[in-house]
A and B are shown apart, each in its own frame.
Chain A
Amino acid sequence: MNTIPIYTTKDFQSDQDVRWCPGCGDYSILAQTQRVFPDLGIPKEKTVFVSGIGCSSRFPYYMITYGFHGIHGRAAAIASGLKIAHPDLSVWVATGDGDGMSIGGNHFIHACRRNTGLKILLFNNQIYGLTKGQFSPTSLQGQVTKSTPFGNIDHPFNPLSLALGAQATFVSRTLDRDPKHMQTVIKRAAAHNGTAFVEIYQNCNVFNDGAFELWTEKDSKDDNVVVLENGKPLIFGKNKDKGIRLNGFTPEVVSLIDGKYTTSDLILHDEKDPMLAFILAGMSGIQNLPRPVGVVYAVEKSTYEQLMQNQIDDITTKKGIGDLEKLFNRGETWEVK
């Protein structure tokens, strides 16, 4: 019988010098990942981290699992091939907002759509870190970066909406500064059967410091973040005194203390509701609304590798295991004496 060894966090910490800038949000992501991995019940040798290029893509070097540092943007495609060829592996993708949404945008959407059992961790720092500070597809409009001295004129991607639009079956968001929350989200992603997308707000303290301050700092966080919990109403605020209700299809913040609304008027989070998922994801772009974090959407859908295996089994049952010798000799053949 296969028993899974009992691991500790240490078992996943490699001896390689970690090369991120001191204070970088990537450290927290690495630490939380190493912390939850012993709990996942996956043998180390069956785990593979695949990445592209960027600061964030150094991630595989620091995990004692199998690791593959690819080329810019292609992590999802490499990982797809690996997962399809070897469905028994637990395949994780570490990618940046540039790596995953710009040069690798095509692979990203198709990985979502196919539901190829990948766990995609998107380190979103709204900047190109490794190439030293150009804007990325998630940079804000107006943002001044090395390549936008007069302010960025691009409209940014909203990664959650993009993933949902691409038919992802698991869409979530967490924050580098909230270790506990990140751990639960990573665990949920690991347990999901299919492609799981985790957007992680990650501070690049060198080129885009404070980009997510409002949602991560103690004094502003509670009033600006709503933590999604399945089946629970959307309540937030330092004193849990605010909620979100739907006015038609538009979410709006309401007070729970002025007597007009009670918790029963609020949105009840339902991870399986695709329409709600779009509304929640869309909140990110609207001023005066808190940022949702947590699992926005999670549904079960057949995975690519399972459907492929079904076809293989089906055809093998019908036709038997293929015999090349027979195949080569099938149909019109003739003998030369």
Chain B
Amino acid sequence: MAKITKNIDEVTIRFAGDSGDGMQLTGGQFTTATAFVGNDLATMPDYPAEIRAPAGSLAGVSSFQINFGATEIRTPGDQSDCLVVMNPAALKVYLKKLREGGSIIANADNFNEKNLRLAAYESNPLQNDSLGRYQVYSVEISKLTQNALKDLNLSPKIVDRTKNFFALGLTYWMYNRPMEPTLKWIKEKFAGKEDIIEANTRVLKAGHAYGETTEIFTVRFEVAPAQLPPGRYRSITGNEATAWGLMAAAKRANLELFLGSYPITPASEILQELSKYKNYGVKTFQAEDEIAGITSAIGASYGGALGATNTSGPGLALKTEAMGLAVMLELPLIIIDVQRGGPSTGLPTKTEQADLLQAVYGRNGEAPIPVFAACSPTDCFDTTFEAARIALKYMTPVIVLTDGYIANGAEPWLIPRISELPDLSPTFVTNLEGFAPYKRDPQTLARMWAIPGTPGLEHRIGGLEKENITGNISYDPDNHHLMITTRAEKINNITNDIPPAKLVGDESGDLLVVSWGSTYGAVHNAVETKRNEGLSVSHLHLKYINPLQKNIGEILKNFKQILVPEINLGQLIKILRDKYLVDAVGFNLVRGLPFSAVEIENKIDEMIKRG
């Protein structure tokens, strides 16, 4: 039977299975192949907090979603067009995220009595008519895998472990992806284990051939390359981008990078990533707790390194007191908070934006700290680099907010040239003449930085209030007021150093949607859709939360209504109301999930209708 090829602009696929089914790996391979074709893309893994929940259970389902297209892709996709499920539990968990009419590729062999029971199915959904609204491909993936490897004399366990590559091969056929990158990967990954290379290669090809030859598959899809800015690209996750942003900043500052850290989901990959680069002027220190993580970084900064620490919400809480110390000491420091669901241990593997107020205000005393938020995996690089620029120039700690969604998500990254990134080199004082530890640059108000090892500049600093200029301990009431206001002014001065905010859409209108952090993609898509429908709606995205850019107040004034979607109960909105006295409306869903564009679109409709 003839097969037809359909051209489409954008597709979302989700691979789902048991934690042990290798779905993250499958998704990763699909991503590489897709990048190879030149599509734009965004990905999102979703996995259980437990390392190994019971096999076949609903709690043990792990999935990987990828959205790719011929146009610009800003989110991993709301709903999937195609759902690959390796067992009934995966189907149960993710069917609601499949669009009506979407395709299901199911490993029929795993829809046995035991797995159906574990997934709480009374009868086999592949065999009754409950999936009538979808295009169901029931494929005996396990058996076909076994057949392909019959003559290889491998243990059943090893054979079973390759079945994800059958599914991968099949989707490669369906979406017309090249197999070469994965074949190359197999060779490198299993170098020296010829039988494993052979097995995986065969199974991948068998999956591909199955699509080509079986009659049940009649359509395959073609997604043309996207029009991305020219240059060399690679795929990068948010956490990798953050780590690399730190390295790039240290390089451009001519400083050693020191990361003081304590493992916590979903921030640990930053520590792990940086620990690989000992020959790049990077020192990582896995400390005894988060407090030691940040204080060791402060110690390193004091000595003239670029100190950084990374964590997630509970760890940020522990670092609070030390952040205040860094404010008093006026030392550069980068604090990365990869937000997750809270409060307390909350939802470690899920995403949330609920640390914003903790970051902006959560300290004793008047302790202003700049807070910047990344909006996508690649933006983690830019935001971290920018944070380092400000930290070094203004002698201040800076908080970078990312979250689990963008930290684990990946997208193509236009690889920058290191030499073209701004020079961040600080000036260490070496001259005794005119030195005082708290003497300031009149423009930025940054204090002088003299580091241990410099002869003649021995001085003492600490967390007790400093006398202006000398840095001696001072209990003088007026001096305290002066220092409090000076530190605040210094942070406010940063507004002179950051670009004004840019709007997407008209500069005035019925509705302005204000976003920050990882909701960027969904809001952007929603506003674009609504603008195409003719609605008077614009989008303002904030990277700089503290201080806010100079023109924000002006922008807000020009809209009849303001909508602030956040994955919290309304935190940015408090800051905006406080600063600009605007009657903004919150849209708050705190489910551990990113917003979908459709949810924002519906809210926009509702607001416009209400007028």
Contacts and interface: CB of A to CB of B under 8 A. Distances in A.
Contacts of B580: none
Interface residues of B, number: 68
A336 B229 contact: yes
B415 A84 contact: no
Contacts of B299: 50, 68, 77-83, 85
A107 interface: yes
Given A86-B303, A336-B229, A74 B460 contact: no
Interface string A292-332: 00000000000000001001100110011110110111011
Nearest to A16: B472
B120 interface: no
Contacts of B297: 81
B325 A71 contact: yes
Interface in A254-312: 308, 311-312
The B contact surface, by secondary structure, is: mixed
B288 interface: yes
Interface string B282-305: 010101110110011111101111
Contacts of A79: 299
B292 A107 contact: yes
Interface string B313-351: 000000001101100000000000000000000000000
B232 A329 contact: yes
B232 A334 contact: yes
Nearest to A334: B233
A81 B279 contact: no
Given A86-B453, A107-B288, A322-B280, A335 B458 contact: no
B101 interface: no
B232 A71 contact: no
Interface string B1-39: 000000000000000000000000000000010011010
A132 interface: no
A88 B256 CA distance: 14
B458 A68 contact: no
A58 to B, nearest CB: 9
B325 A80 contact: no
Interface string A138-162: 0000000000000000000000000
B264 interface: no
Given A45-B455, A66-B452, A81 B307 contact: yes
Interface in A1-18: 14, 16
B289 to A, nearest CB: 6
A67 B460 contact: yes
A250 interface: no
B591 interface: no
Contact of B452 (A48, A320, A321, A327): A48
Given A66-B452, A71-B325, A308-B283, A332 B32 contact: yes
Contacts of A51: 462
A177 interface: no
A247 interface: no
A192 interface: no
Interface in B260-295: 260, 277-281, 283, 285, 287-289, 291-292, 295
B456 interface: yes
A68 B230 CA distance: 49
Interface residues of A, number: 58
A319 B228 CA distance: 34
A324 to B, nearest CB: 5
Given A84-B285, A335-B232, A324 B418 contact: yes
Interface string B415-440: 11111000000000000000000000
A45 B295 contact: no
Nearest to A14: B460
A44 interface: yes
Nearest to A76: B292
Given A70-B463, A84-B285, A315-B278, A78 B295 contact: yes
B584 interface: no
Interface string A104-138: 00110010000000000000000000000000000
Given A45-B457, A328-B416, A332-B181, A61 B38 contact: no
Contact of B296 (A68, A84, A315): A84
A188 to B, nearest CB: 24
Interface of A: 14, 16, 43-48, 50-51, 53, 60-61, 64-71, 74, 77-86, 88-89, 106-107, 110, 308, 311-312, 315-316, 319-322, 324-325, 327-329, 331-337
Given A327-B280, A334-B36, 8 more contacts: A44-B455, A45-B458, A60-B462, A67-B460, A106-B292, A107-B292, A312-B279, A315-B279
10 contacts: A45-B452, A47-B452, A53-B463, A68-B299, A80-B287, A81-B260, A89-B452, A312-B278, A324-B280, A333-B233
